């Protein structure tokens, strides 16, 4: 079974691997039901979804109904105003078929203007804190993409004591000196405050090339980026993230990679040589998803 650790100050012992459900947003319930038993088999007890992930919340609802209390439920809202965030949360609760969620996260809060709205009077944070007081949510977090997000999360934590943060972590991205330093500063602050830290894009290979796409029975892109597919390379990428005891790894939206991710997380010592990561990068053409410029946004 996959190791469990305290998810920050929430009081929940979460599996080090968190199931990222974005890929369920465009598939049938039957297909989703084929994927979800893997979580139980490996001891995954934490689900990550979002209001913007298509039908993902609906696909999770039957499992939440039949496994009550089994999963820590985290969702997200991309709304920036209080009214919008409240409506988004209520819709998520209805779609998930639950009366409360464990964690609501402000989704991709990186742009300065949106950040100001969220934290101002009538902003989304105001509504989420009110919902927490009402018992609709237990904890509030913040997420984001790109090379600016680690520094922006620090600013968010200066404004409000969030319970969790989520940001991209993989070897290619942390080769960027500025981003690596920002990530380490953020991790240090989160350790001091007991804020849970979640890593996304752990098995990213690169952005899709023109005309490229996955083969197989689905014949569609379940992820906006091209993931690693070789089990050995996936294992190296998983070990790279989990070698930091502070990080929880959120799985790729390409759920076809879920078995390899879970097996690596369950079996590995999480020690990986730099040479192995560099070799994978050279052999497979691994490239950073973000560059602080033209590739900064999804």
Phi/psi of residue 228, nearest 5 degrees: -65, 145
The two beta strands, 225-227 and 204-207, are antiparallel
Q: What is the pLDDT of residues 52-93, one digit of tens each?
A: 999 999 999 999 999 999 999 999 999 999 999 999 999 999
* Residue written as token pair 């944070």: 125
End-to-end CA gap in the chain: 34
Distance CA 47, CA 14 (A): 10
Paired tokens of 218:
């689905």
pTM over 0.85: yes
Structural domains in the chain plus CATH codes: 4-284 (3.20.20.100)
CB crowding 118-135: b at 16 or more within 10 Å, else e: bbeeebbbbbbeebbeee
Residue pLDDT, tens place only, 204-239: 999 998 655 554 444 467 999 999 999 999 999 999
- 96-151 pLDDT, tens digit per residue, is 999 999 999 999 999 999 999 999 999 999 999 999 999 999 999 999 999 999 99
């Amino acid at each position: 079974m996959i190791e469990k650790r305290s998810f920050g100050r929430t009081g929940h012992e979460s599996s080090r691997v968190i199931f990222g459900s974005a890929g369920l947003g465009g598939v049938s319930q039957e297909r989703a039901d084929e994927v979800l038993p893997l979580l139980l088999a490996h001891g995954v007890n934490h689900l990550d979804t979002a209001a913007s992930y298509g039908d993902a919340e609906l696909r999770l609802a039957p499992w939440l109904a039949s496994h009550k209390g089994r999963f820590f439920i985290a969702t997200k809202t991309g709304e920036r105003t209080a009214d919008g965030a409240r409506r988004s949360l209520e819709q998520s609760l209805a779609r998930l078929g639950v009366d409360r969620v464990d964690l609501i996260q402000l989704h991709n809060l990186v742009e300065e203007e949106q950040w100001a709205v969220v934290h101002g009077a009538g902003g989304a944070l105001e509504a989420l804190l009110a919902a927490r007081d009402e018992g609709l949510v237990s904890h509030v977090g913040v997420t984001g993409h790109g090379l600016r997000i680690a520094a922006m999360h620090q600013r968010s934590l200066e404004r409000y004591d969030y319970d969790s943060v989520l940001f991209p972590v993989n070897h290619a991205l942390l080769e960027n000196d500025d981003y690596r330093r920002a990530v380490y500063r953020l991790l240090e602050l989160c350790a001091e405050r007991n804020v849970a830290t979640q890593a996304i894009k752990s098995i990213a290979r690169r952005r899709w090339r023109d005309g490229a796409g996955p083969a197989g029975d689905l014949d569609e892109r379940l992820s906006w980026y091209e993931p690693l597919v070789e089990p050995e390379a996936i294992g190296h990428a998983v070990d790279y993230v989990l070698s930091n005891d502070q990080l929880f790894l959120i799985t790729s939206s390409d759920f076809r990679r879920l078995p390899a991710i879970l097996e690596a997380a369950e079996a590995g010592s999480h020690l990986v040589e730099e040479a192995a990561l560099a070799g994978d990068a050279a052999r497979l053409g691994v490239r950073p998803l973000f560059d602080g410029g033209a590739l900064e946004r999804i």
